[in-house]
């Protein structure tokens, strides 16, 4: 135990708690504040009004949240949740701890955890695989996971100009977006996410406020301690009002996560050798890569009940992007040999 007034760091899954011995021989636990933009290792914000002062570690709170969650399952059943997620909560401390770090109290953490797992079940998130999506979704490269940023956060890129608002694809695109986010989030295992909205060359025809807000809102609601930054890259003035609206929709504590960056300043967040080449980077990782087993859009569309007529219309819209993708693939391949 530390001396009066001194802080003792409690090692859990990273630097998550400090225990402070007060002059009256009581202890205060402090949890890292997710909304502070400083590196986690520099932040230990006091929240003792919500944290049980008798708790000695984050591990104790993790076990309490886990116990209450499984007690709820025993009482109300597990039909609302996916079995994969249930096992994740049973075995992975971080997937519980992240809710505590957001909500600070056990009961609030349990409620957020349950709401998140219900949403994941409704979205079929735990069961989605790359092969559930057409190869064209990957080849276009409109959204992809990529190399980490300077802080070690996983990166997800969304190239706005490659988007077309097509009613028949709305549900499938949302599923694809969250599948990509989920893959990167799971790979990070405690690190955050940096989402790069690449607005270069985008115009009003590419703007889909509902889709952008769906992504941002989902990250806030269902990925606690997930989103570190939203980097809005090379935003044209014609879209500035849209981002003003999106920022206003966000809770105040999350607004500072939005950073507007240019080709010159994005390297303040992501190293040049981790940037895709079209942003001036030198990374040879192919962001058009099609995972093994993915099938053409025509085959997937037939399974999803999309008519042949609609498929032809959709493919016509994306044909220029697929041709551009092939040109970029050739350039990326040349980088690998340099």
Domain boundary among 72, 103, 125: 125
Condensed to tens digits (0 to 9), the pLDDT of residues 41-68 reads 333 333 334 544 344 489 999 999 999 9
Q: How high does pLDDT run on average in the chain?
A: 84
Q: Give the Cα separation of 286 and 325 in Å (integer).
A: 11
Number of Cβ atoms within 10 Å of the Cβ of 167: 7
**Domain span at 89:** 58-125
Distance CA 50, CA 28 (A): 11
- Say yes or no: 104 and 146 in one domain: no
Q: Which of 125, 144, 161 is the last residue of a domain?
A: 125
User: Who wins on pLDDT, 34 or 194?
Assistant: 194
pLDDT at 123 over 50: yes
- The Cα–Cα gap between 78 and 81 comes to 6
Pair of tokens at residue 308? 């042949």
Q: What angle is formed at CA 169 by the lines to CA 218 and CA 166, rounded to 5 degrees?
A: 105
Instruction: Choose one of 125, 141, 169: the last residue of a domain.
Output: 125
Residue 45 burial (CB count, 10 A): 13
Same domain, 257 and 280: yes
- In this structure, the answer to whether residues 111 and 259 fall within a common structural domain is no
Quick one: pLDDT at residue 53?
37
What count of other Cβ atoms lies within 10 Å of the Cβ of residue 21? 17
CATH number at residue 147: 3.40.525.10
Encoded tokens for 121:
């079940």
Same structural domain, 69 and 201: no
Question: Quick check: 97 pLDDT over 80?
Answer: yes
What is the mean pLDDT of the segment spanning 312-318? 85
Give the integer Cα–Cα distance in Å for 102 and 112: 9
> Are residues 248 and 274 part of one domain?
yes
pLDDT digits (tens, 9 = 90+) for 196-253: 999 999 998 888 999 999 999 999 999 998 899 999 999 999 899 998 999 999 989 8
| Per-residue pLDDT at 316 | 87
Distance CA 102, CA 225 (A): 7
Please answer whether residues 48 and 7 qualify as being in contact, where contact means their C-beta atoms are separated by less than 8 angstroms: no
Number of neighbouring beta carbons within 10 Å of residue 327: 9
Higher pLDDT, 28 or 162: 162
Residue 338 predicted with pLDDT over 80? no
Give the β-pairing of 27-31 and 15-21.
antiparallel
Maximum pairwise Cα distance, the chain: 75
Q: How far apart are CA 260 and CA 234, in angstroms?
A: 8
Is 136 in the same domain as 118?
no
pTM for the model = 0.81
Within this chain, do residues 211 and 286 fall inside the same structural domain, yes or no? yes
Count of the separate structural domains present in the chain: 2
Based on the fold, state whether residues 250 and 157 are members of the same structural domain. yes
Choose between 200 and 25: higher pLDDT: 200
The pLDDT of residue 1: 40
As given in the structure block, the two tokens for residue 331 are 């350039």
DSSP at 291: P
My answer on whether 141 and 168 are in the same domain is yes
The predicted pLDDT at position 146 comes to 97
Distance (Å, whole) CA 41 – CA 18:
11
The answer to the question of residue 24 being in a domain is no
Give the integer Cα–Cα distance in Å for 243 and 50. 34
Residues 165, 149 within the same domain: yes
Cα separation, 264 vs 156, in Å, equals 19
Mean pLDDT of all residues in 140-153: 96
- Does residue 12 lie within any of the structural domains? no
98-107 pLDDT, tens digit each = 999 999 999 9
Other C-beta atoms lying within 10 Å of the C-beta of residue 119: 15
**Contact 295/262 with Cβ under 8 angstroms?**
no
Number of Cβ within 10 Å of residue 150's Cβ equals 12
Q: Is 22 contained in some domain?
A: no
Share of the chain above pLDDT 70, in %: 83
């Amino acid at each position: 135990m530390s001396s009066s007034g001194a802080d003792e760091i409690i090692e859990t899954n990273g630097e998550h708690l400090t225990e402070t011995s007060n002059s009256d021989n009581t202890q205060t636990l402090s949890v890292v504040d997710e909304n502070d933009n400083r590196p986690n290792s520099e932040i230990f914000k006091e929240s003792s009004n919500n944290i049980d002062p008798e708790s000695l570690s984050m591990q104790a709170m993790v076990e309490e949240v886990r116990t209450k969650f499984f007690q709820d399952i025993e009482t109300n059943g597990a039909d609302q949740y996916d079995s994969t997620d249930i096992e994740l909560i049973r075995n992975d401390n971080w997937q519980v701890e992240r809710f505590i770090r957001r909500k600070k109290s056990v009961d609030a953490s349990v409620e957020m955890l349950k709401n998140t797992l219900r949403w994941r079940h409704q979205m079929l998130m735990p069961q989605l695989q790359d092969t559930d999506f057409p190869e064209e979704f990957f080849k276009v490269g409109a959204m992809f996971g990529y190399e980490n940023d300077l802080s070690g956060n996983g990166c997800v890129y969304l190239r706005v100009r490659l988007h077309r608002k097509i009613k028949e694809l709305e549900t499938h695109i949302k599923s694809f977006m969250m599948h990509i986010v989920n893959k990167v989030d799971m790979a990070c295992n405690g690190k955050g996410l940096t989402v790069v909205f690449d607005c270069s060359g985008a115009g009003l025809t590419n703007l889909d406020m509902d889709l952008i807000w769906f992504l941002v809102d989902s990250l806030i609601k269902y990925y606690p301690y997930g989103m570190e930054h939203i980097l809005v890259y090379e935003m044209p003035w014609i879209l500035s009002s849209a981002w003003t609206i999106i920022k206003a929709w966000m809770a105040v504590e999350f607004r500072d996560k939005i950073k507007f960056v240019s080709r010159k300043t994005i390297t303040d967040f992501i190293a040049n050798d981790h940037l895709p080449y079209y942003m001036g980077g030198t990374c040879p990782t192919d962001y058009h890569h099609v995972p093994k087993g993915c099938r053409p859009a025509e085959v997937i569309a037939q399974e999803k009940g999309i008519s042949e007529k609609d498929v032809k219309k959709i493919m016509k819209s994306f044909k220029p992007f697929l041709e551009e993708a092939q040109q970029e693939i050739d350039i990326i391949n040349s980088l690998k040999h340099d």
